Structure 1
């Protein structure tokens, strides 16, 4: 069995096992799993509005998954995607409110502000890792909380003490009248094209540039890379900054597309943390991230229909999604068994 086939089978088996165990949980809890999954399917593909909302939900997952996957591919574990997303969200909103510019300048500027804010927020963990060997997991986790409370404070300043800012100007908006007309006024916006473009950007950086080769080399073995003349510190910092920029763009999708404003939050959005599972499910590859983001975006939005249509409590829905994530995380165990089966077949 080739490595490529194994890479495809592992996430597929993970999802199937997750859905089976999820069905058992529903059955044990006294709910009809067939009815539950039918409601999930209806919530994703039921009509044009739901399909539009599903794609809208997939958009930030694509970018958060890319952020985590890019760091993984270069030997780093960026758990700070959530915080970088929040600062990107605020930066895009602020630019969207503060300036009066033509759309062809205003919208790119707001998107760029989010990417820069996310990149700068990731710069510090990268710098500490590169210069002082402080583990990026610890720093990025702590900076998530700093980002949450800092953006909440900044929102109150911008909103004159209120809990949410005013709406961004139309010239900074990603919303689409065309998409609204074909999806029964869903919140689907042009951000999906930005997210897909970033998939190509990640692939191009890692596979077609000298910088990408150096980033991957440092991730595989920084001592060998240093011996080969590569600047290890620079590459570690650059990797975190690019990862943070992807995360900041995920915030821009929410700020400029889905909501059109920023509001203070009592808790994290969860998009940044789910990006870890998206990246794992996609084997940290750009194409795989599309698959992972599609699955998680669909589950997250489609699951909102399960309590109403099937009477399945939202807590059970969360358990089902968590079980799928669990099996995704156990993908290495599945890979081990697949390889063992493959070796047995070859021996026979």
Structure 2
């Protein structure tokens, strides 16, 4: 890097450098994906043109927002853990467990629509928080790494849910092959913003993002959370209770995770079922959180990027490009962004160290 170019980078604010690095990473990822398409005998320019032309329509934009909703919630759940230096890989199990409990609870509640929906959402949060609390308890009492415990809890969650569903909660009254819980009453359903296109859960997801920003970046609790994540030893020295922060952050992460499937349960299917409730949002949320650098705006943009590529996958298939290429594009984007972000972080840390050293030298000269 030349001295002129280095001076230009040094003059840029940290936020601008981070934004530029993310844009560069996405461009690099698209170039890599273009090479992959060429190797498989496809025209990358035609593929990207199809994605842009299709995604620019009003229908696809609404579908993008709809598909981004569970990803926003999942990424927020993961990001809360990341800020505490906890890797909550159990969002998948937490939201599926919460979906079953919330769907079954909703069928036994009789209340006005707003109250009914609010109570069910709170039940979903409580169920997700409960499942996440197991990993927190194991970490603070037995020192078990949360990655290991949450992975195992994902499998346990699926088994427990299958047992509960098969023995106590399934509704076979219609005799169909697609078995679910009893259908939720109209008062317990979240209405659509645009009929059949965009559910009201999207607004709730944006509200959760706002609360995440307010709590993590603009509150005393958020300062303690981030301090504990950056340096737990220094945080404890400053009087911050590490174990308490682990418990609270995992509970909050699990509570947000509990909302991930609510668009499906309360806004689309009006029930829970093994075939009706979507999976894999927990793992996709990790990718979205990494891509968005755990920042509220970054999470929303990254979730919409994933929703955008997912919404155009069907059109790509009609053009002869397999659906799997969309997943490849998403994976390459995430990997590239993570690598570039790591390089950027190292550069920024080095720049900060140099600036601090220069300031100290200037202070000594002044003395």
- Aligned match of 1:105 in 99, 111, 115? 115
Deviations 1:12-34 (A, max 9, x none): 22222222111211111111222
Per the TM alignment, residue 333 of structure 1 is displaced from its structure 2 partner at its CA by: 4.6
Of structures 1 and 2, the one with the larger relative CO (CA 8 A, separation 6+) is 1
Question: In structure 2, how many angstroms separate the alpha carbons of the residues matched to 1:268 and 1:106?
Answer: 23
Question: In structure 1, how many angstroms separate the alpha carbons of the residues matched to 2:42 and 2:54?
Answer: 18
- Find out whether 1:8 has 2:16 as its counterpart: no
2:55/2:312 contact within 8 Å kept: yes
User: Structure 2 matches for 1:182-197, cutoff 5 A?
Assistant: 185-186=196-197, 188-197=198-207
1:155/1:262 contact within 8 Å kept: no
- Find out whether 1:21 has 2:32 as its counterpart: yes
- Find out whether 1:298 has 2:312 as its counterpart: no
Question: In structure 1, how many angstroms separate the alpha carbons of the residues matched to 2:289 and 2:256?
Answer: 13
Deviations 1:221-274 (A, max 9, x none): 222222222221111010011011111111222211233221115997121111
Per the TM alignment, residue 163 of structure 1 is displaced from its structure 2 partner at its CA by: 3.1
1:10/1:334 contact within 8 Å kept: no
2:264/2:278 contact within 8 Å kept: no
Unaligned runs of 5+ in 1: none
- Find out whether 1:324 has 2:339 as its counterpart: no
Question: In structure 2, how many angstroms separate the alpha carbons of the residues matched to 1:104 and 1:146?
Answer: 33
Hey, what does 2:289 align to over in structure 1? 279
Per the TM alignment, residue 192 of structure 1 is displaced from its structure 2 partner at its CA by: 0.9
SS in structure 1 at match of 2:199: coil
Question: In structure 2, how many angstroms separate the alpha carbons of the residues matched to 1:102 and 1:220?
Answer: 45
Deviates more, 1:81-90 or 1:250-259: 250-259
Question: In structure 2, how many angstroms separate the alpha carbons of the residues matched to 1:127 and 1:167?
Answer: 35
1:60/1:254 contact within 8 Å kept: no
SS in structure 1 at match of 2:180: coil
- Find out whether 1:200 has 2:210 as its counterpart: yes
Name the Cα RMSD after superposition: 2.5
- Aligned match of 1:164 in 180, 190, 206? 180
User: Structure 2 matches for 1:1-348, cutoff 5 A?
Assistant: 1-46=12-57, 48-156=58-166, 157-160=168-171, 163-176=179-192, 178-180=193-195, 185-186=196-197, 188-265=198-275, 269-308=279-318, 310-335=319-344
1:114/1:251 contact within 8 Å kept: no
Question: In structure 1, how many angstroms separate the alpha carbons of the residues matched to 2:346 and 2:245?
Answer: 36
Query: Normalising to structure 2: TM-score of the pair?
Result: 0.84
Check 1:24–1:244 CA distance in 2 against 1; reply closer, same or farther (3 A cut). Answer: same
Which 4+ residue blocks in structure 1 deviate beyond 4 angstroms? 265-268, 336-343
Deviates more, 1:93-102 or 1:334-343: 334-343
1:91/1:110 contact within 8 Å kept: no
Query: Normalising to structure 1: TM-score of the pair?
Result: 0.89
Deviates more, 1:237-246 or 1:199-208: 199-208
Unaligned runs of 5+ in 2: 1-11, 173-177, 356-367
Q: Matched residue pairs, number?
A: 336
Question: In structure 2, how many angstroms separate the alpha carbons of the residues matched to 1:124 and 1:273?
Answer: 19
Per the TM alignment, residue 339 of structure 1 is displaced from its structure 2 partner at its CA by: 5.7
Deviates more, 1:261-270 or 1:213-222: 261-270
Question: In structure 1, how many angstroms separate the alpha carbons of the residues matched to 2:317 and 2:160?
Answer: 35
Check 1:54–1:258 CA distance in 2 against 1; reply closer, same or farther (3 A cut). Answer: farther
